[in-house]
Structure formats: structure tokens, C-alpha cells
Structure 1
Amino acid sequence: GVLVILGMTLITFINPMTQIFRGYDTVRKTDLSKLKAAFESYYEDKGCYPPIEMLQNCGGTDLAPYMDKIPCDPSTGEAYELFYHPVGETCSQRFVIYTTLANVFDPAGKEIPYCDNTYAVKSSDVTEAIVITGCSGRQLCSRLYGCVSGQCQLIAEDSFPVCYPSYCDDNTCNNKCSNPSYECVSQ
């Protein structure tokens, strides 16, 4: 009897929290979708994406007329995370906007390697490597080279290596290709 009461109490406590987390995550995803649309409209008019400071002014009207009010995270009240590539450009041509999902079981939070519980929207020409760099801080190479048949060759662009060893942005493969033991082998 005691276990049944304890079990029912636990289910009653956990289930509403799960529903609250799902609700927050639905708002987050909707917010990011609206931000993406506003960013794209801004880009069409200005030829750049909005300055990073605009998104940081969560609750503000900096994106008007593209968006009445810049949304804030529904749980924390904080601004959503914005990443521009390349970093530091004054006229950004690529963006990614991130949020952390509260529901750790949401499959959308598992789509970005190295960035657990992260959901993102992005401009159309942003690669997976850029998305991962923005949320994980990992520097992925724009070009990977490897020794193929004794020659240093491009093996991947803006993605993960397809064989090992590989060399980040080094089109000489560190002058290792004359040695067969450095041949790039699929893993």
C-alpha cells in the first residue's frame, strides 16, 4: 500500500514537470522559427543579418518591423544564443541561433553532435561543422586533407573526416604522404 501511494505521488510530481518542460520547449522552438524568419527578412532588406547586440536585447523592439518584440527564453528570461560565422564580421552572412531544451528526451535535442539538448535554426548556407563549432566551441576544420595513394588530397570540406589520419587545413599533409603508414584509412 505504501509503495503504491509513493509511486502515485512520484508520477503525479514527475508528469506535470515533464509537461511544463515540453511546453517551454515548444515555445523555444517557435521563438527560434520566428527569429529565423525575421533574420531572413532583415537580410533581404539590408544584405546582412542583424548585429549580435539586437538579439541580446531580449524583450526589446530592436528587430521591428521584422518582429514586434525579441523573444526571451520562457524559463530563464535570457536571450537566445546567436553565433555568426565567420566570427567578428560587421556584415554577417551566416547565422545560427541556439537554445537548450529542458526535455532531455526530445529527439530534436539529439540532432547536433557534441551539443546535447540543443536545438538550432540557421541560415541556409551554414554547414554542420559551423553549427557544431557555435554550440560546442570545438574548432572543426573547413578543409581536411589526407594521404591517398601517396598524394595529399582534399578528403572533406566543412564536415567530419572520412578517414584517418587527416590534416586540418594543411594541403601538404605535413609532408607525410611518402610514408605508406600515413595513408588515410576509413575508420
Structure 2
Amino acid sequence: MTHRKYQRHGFTFIELIIAIAIIGAITTLVVLAINPTKQLQKARDGKRKSDLAVLKRVLEDWYNDKGCYPKPYQIGYGYDISGTWYDNPDPTGTNNGGIMENVSISFMCGSEPSSPSLSPYLSQLPCSPNHNKIKYKITDYVYEVLSDEVGCPQQYKIYTGLENVLDPIIADLNCIANSCGPEPAYGYNYGVTSPQSTLNQAATLYCCYVNPGVCNVCGQSTMECESSGVCLSTVYTSAQDCCTAHPGGCPR
């Protein structure tokens, strides 16, 4: 009597479950190692840096030809004051943008319908990767000139916010804790300026003290605050921001 030997092909159910579990674990480790969210943030930050570098070069060409940098209405599509949005200031120049302390500002985004043109210097103004006019973000681009020079600006500053707050350039610019930007709001951690200017930084910084746990002045630079040893955590550009984050540290 002849007996046939049958060979088993494929996997058992248990083997399939084990294989799927192993593949899933490997996939999870790969995703965690790559951290796609962080990579996307870095990619958007790369565009922001590139955009501002292009603007810096273009604005020097503009200045060399005209003897002035652009007025806010010549480069921005509008501005925001105390939660009220104003469209692009009129081209006559009588309305040159939002006033904050002694500066005039406007927001930039070439994809906005009311955005002006810098042609022939630039075919279209750049726009922050996650720009949304309906909900203003600190990663948008804001252009600033001195109010007393608004007729013929001799210097400018452009601010934005990098999503990767651990980027070393933020500390190099002394803009940790979003301490750079137009007064008194600040709120930005990156920017470029004309050759004869520097980024505006908060003169006084605040933090919640380790002991006794109240918000108070910690210094005039982020490095000074962080090295003081008195700060519980984050450094803030205003006492109000510190108190909002640590309500128990601001007794009335």
C-alpha cells in the first residue's frame, strides 16, 4: 500500500498573527524614529527661512533703486489691531498700516487677493506655509517700519514664527519664548532686518518663580532668566502672559 506525503503550504493563523504583530511593531518604531510631524514642521520652517532670505535680497534691490524701503501698504495685504482686521491700506499712502507703539506694520501673503505686487523685483510675494487670514497665526509674515519714517522707510524688520522651537537659530537671535516682534505684543521667534537694524526684543522678561511660585521679572534676556535658577519653567514677555499660564502665581 502506497502512502502519499502531503507538504503543508502557507502559514497557520497563529503564525499570521505573530507576523502582523512584528510588522506593526517595526512600523511603529520607524514612524517614531522619523517623527513625520516634526519633519513637516522643519520643512515649513525651511520655507519660512527661504522666503525671508529672498525678501531680504529683494528689498535691498528696491532700496537701491528708490532710496526707501517699501511702505506697509506697498508690501502688505492688511493689518490687525486689537482683534479688528483691516484690509490692505489704500494706495494713496494716507493709511500706512497698523500702528503699534512707534512702528507701522502690515501682514504679507502673496496669495491674498488684496496683496500688492513687487514686480519687477518679485513676481509674487511669498506666503507662510500654513497661512490663514481668518485665524491669524504667529507663523505669518509681518512687516514693520518706524512710524516717523513711514513716508520713506530707511529700515525694516520682518518677523515670523518657527514651529520647531528647538531650532538653534532662535537662541542665536535671542528670540526664545517668542520674545521678538513689534511692541508691545512681541510673539515671534525669527526674523530678518535691513542691514542697519536689529530685531526688536522684549526689554523685560518674566517667569513664575520656583519659590514662592509667583510671576515676577527674571531679567532682560532669555539667557539671563534661564541661568538665574529662579524660574519654574517658561519665560514670558509680559507679566500678563505669565499670570495667564500660572493663575495661582498672580494673587489679586
With the shorter chain as reference, the TM-score category is 0.5 to 0.7
Is it true that 1:123 corresponds to 2:194 in the alignment?
yes
Partner residue of 1:19?
A: 39
Is it true that 1:87 corresponds to 2:147 in the alignment?
yes
Partner residue of 1:101?
A: 162
What's the CA shift for 1:20?
0.1
Unaligned runs of 5+ in 2: 1-20, 78-108, 134-139, 179-188, 205-220, 222-252
Instruction: Please list the CA deviations of residues 95-119 of structure 1 after superposition, one character each: whole Å capped at 9, or x if unmatched.
Output: 1111100011111122233553622
Percent sequence identity is 35
**Among 119, 131, 134, the residue aligned to 1:64:** 119
> SS at 2:160's partner residue?
strand
Partner residue of 1:132?
A: 200
Partner residue of 1:184?
A: none
Mapped partners of 2:27, 2:170: distance in 1? 29
CA contact (8 A) 1:25 1:102 kept: yes
Mapped partners of 1:116, 1:19: distance in 2? 21
What's the CA shift for 1:120?
1.4
Give TM-score scaled by structure 2 length. 0.45
Mapped partners of 2:120, 2:40: distance in 1? 31
Question: CA 1:114–1:101 in 2, change beyond 3 Å: closer, same or farther?
Answer: closer
Cα RMSD between the aligned structures?
2.9
CA contact (8 A) 1:61 1:68 kept: no
Mapped partners of 1:53, 1:11: distance in 2? 48
Rg larger in structure: 2
Give TM-score scaled by structure 1 length. 0.59
CA contact (8 A) 2:75 2:116 kept: no
Give the aligned length: 132
> SS at 2:61's partner residue?
helix
Instruction: Please list the CA deviations of residues 26-67 of structure 1 after superposition, one character each: whole Å capped at 9, or x if unmatched.
Output: 000000001111111110111100011233232145211111
Question: Which amino acid letter does the alignment assign opposite residue 33 of structure 1?
Answer: A
Question: CA 1:33–1:114 in 2, change beyond 3 Å: closer, same or farther?
Answer: closer
Where do 1:158-177 residues align within 5 Å? none
What's the CA shift for 1:23?
0.3
Where do 1:24-39 residues align within 5 Å? 24-39=44-59
Question: CA 1:42–1:11 in 2, change beyond 3 Å: closer, same or farther?
Answer: same
Partner residue of 1:44?
A: 64
> SS at 2:35's partner residue?
helix
CA contact (8 A) 1:112 1:132 kept: no
- Runs of 4+ displaced beyond 3 Å: 5-11, 114-117
Question: Which amino acid letter does the alignment assign opposite residue 21 of structure 1?
Answer: Q
> SS at 1:98's partner residue?
strand
Mapped partners of 2:174, 2:26: distance in 1? 36
Question: CA 1:103–1:18 in 2, change beyond 3 Å: closer, same or farther?
Answer: same
